[in-house]
Amino acid sequence: MAARFRPPSRTGSLFCSAATLRDHVETGKLAFFLSGSDVNVDFDLSVVAQIALFGLFVVVMKPILFDPLLKLFEKREKLTDGARQEAREMDARAADLLSRFESEIEQVRRDAGAERDRQRAETAKLESKMMEEAKRDAARILAEGRTKIEAEVTALRQELETSRPALAQQIASKLLGREVSS
């Protein structure tokens, strides 16, 4: 069976084995070990090379990546601000159009109400005029009818007056059963 890799225990502030930690505790070097002074950083030419490489990376990547990316962000910001401004303007125009529309609708309602009232008044006048004409016609027809009836009654009375003696003679003849002379 193959030996398995075992990471060092983590009992101290740095990775070390238990034996190393025990040695440091026994010798009194534990405070020195925990302070991290065992790490030595040497500033040599590799640091200068790394700084130079980073500077070169920045110089090369600026026109290739950073400037286009910044321009893209700026363009997007302008478009977003432009779209927001355009949306505000459209909202303002829409509010203006809505208020004009509502005022025009209100004016149309007032005009329609005035026209309706005018039409009602005109219809009432026309109705009144027609009723007056109908009353006059009815009164005229009634007067003509009365005149005609009175003329017929008068004619019938005259006819009765003229035929009264003959009728009286007939009635008397029938009642008496014989002929009566006048």
Two tokens, residue 16:
């070390």
pLDDT tens sequence across 15-29: 556 666 666 666 655
Please give the model's pTM, rounded to 2 decimal places.
Answer: 0.39
- Distance between CA atoms of residues 162 and 116, nearest Å: 67
Read off the pLDDT of residues 96-147 as tens digits, 9 standing for 90 and up. Answer: 999 999 999 999 999 999 999 999 999 999 999 999 999 999 999 999 999 9
Cβ–Cβ contacts within 10 Å for residue 138, how many? 10
